[in-house]
Chain A
């Protein structure tokens, strides 16, 4: 089971329509900038609510317009357990890398801390402050932070931008592993056709 989304929402003056049929694996949201791809991720993460439709992920309903709005019309963001990697790293500037990574950590979570840190190649950064990290380093920490919160699904907003070629390859391999071995439902936004075709089980144009 994966993303089952059919939503209409409004952000500013733009109307956003998005329909994703439930298929296992990694879904790529592909489209020009300004088409509302990030807003779709925000709606699935619970940061904004669509005005119509439904959002179901891995069999669980997170939003349904037919729900009584006075009776939790939408599952609040903290309870959705989305592993959301934003376009900007959004690391907490007052916490060191280690504390950032463990911020959303749940006991008994699927992924091992040391293994994740090793996989992302960020072991040497643990005692640093976010402001001292390069763009690529900050992004890897942000990915690690999302993975360690034991997410039920992943939302990746252009996770490969601002990474050099070698790092890109590593992160792509990691995403493939999460897709094939951990079997997390993943929704990924990208501009890059090549990335989309390599990683996506299917591509949804918006």
Chain B
């Protein structure tokens, strides 16, 4: 592996990792709301969360660009408060990946929260546990496997993110050029085939590892938790 190749892999892992870690609390809160909440507009929220799954990624990237542009609602706020911009930066790539991974993460987490036996939470309440303790000591541990599986799935999705990223933050080598973008760039080169082969191989291996990890976590959970 050349330093250049390492750089690309490292950047991809960094972008994917930051995207998933940043997305995790948001995804969990949304999953919780959708699983347990009763409020008007729930269907609409559900639809909005799933939008990145069905809208063309280019459109998602373009919308992000509008929002984070210096004149955009979020971009101008970031600029005036923190003096930063995420355009053409790896942080922007992480945001694009997070948005694209969000629906998958919410789905997995929502299912696992819905699968928690409410009767156990009732039992905890009669034993004196208030809401937060019930959540921390019963609901969260019992839904944790789904949360982890969702995070790994989101990470795999983030590693493969292409359309929204290239539209939003372009393909800047060393800054926003993650594995898929690097593969695309290499494909444009007259003698890039060897590079494409290497990058594609790494990409497949990483995704496969993430998927296997997600599957293992889910299976382990299935075996471990039998509710009487």
Please tell me which one of the listed residues A77, A92, A138 contacts residue B125 in the complex, with CB atoms under 8 A apart: A77
Q: Roughly how many angstroms separate A81 CA and B130 CA in the complex, as a whole number?
A: 12
Interface residues of A (CB under 8 A from B): 45-47, 76-84, 86, 88-94, 103-104, 106, 130-131, 138, 145-146, 149
Q: Roughly how many angstroms separate A35 CA and B75 CA in the complex, as a whole number?
A: 62
Closest chain A CB from B220 CB (angstroms): 12
For B127, give the chain A residue with the smallest CB separation.
Answer: A104
Q: Which 8 A-B pairs have the closest CB atoms?
A: A104-B127, A90-B123, A77-B125, A84-B126, A131-B226, A149-B127, A94-B141, A104-B128
- Is the beta-carbon distance between A84 and B141 smaller than 8 angstroms? no
Please tell me which one of the listed residues B119, B138, B141, B224 contacts residue A86 in the complex, with CB atoms under 8 A apart: B119
Q: Roughly how many angstroms separate A84 CA and B125 CA in the complex, as a whole number?
A: 10
For A130, give the chain B residue with the smallest CB separation.
Answer: B228
Closest chain B CB from A179 CB (angstroms): 20
Closest chain B CB from A138 CB (angstroms): 6
Secondary structure of the A contact surface, majority rule? loop
Q: Roughly how many angstroms separate A35 CA and B96 CA in the complex, as a whole number?
A: 56
Count class of interface residues, chain B: 20 to 34
Q: Roughly how many angstroms separate A78 CA and B126 CA in the complex, as a whole number?
A: 5
For B227, give the chain A residue with the smallest CB separation.
Answer: A93
Q: How many A-B residue pairs have CB under 8 A?
A: 69
Q: Roughly how many angstroms separate A153 CA and B226 CA in the complex, as a whole number?
A: 30
Told that A93-B227, A146-B127 touch, could you supply 12 new A-B pairs with CB distance under 8 A?
A76-B125, A78-B130, A79-B128, A84-B123, A90-B119, A90-B120, A92-B137, A93-B120, A93-B226, A93-B228, A104-B128, A149-B126
Q: Roughly how many angstroms separate A147 CA and B225 CA in the complex, as a whole number?
A: 25
- Is the beta-carbon distance between A93 and B123 smaller than 8 angstroms? no
A103 surroundings in chain B (CB, below 8 A): 124, 127, 129, 137
Closest chain B CB from A7 CB (angstroms): 18
- Is the beta-carbon distance between A138 and B127 smaller than 8 angstroms? no
Most B-side CB within 10 Å, residue of A78, A82, A106? A78
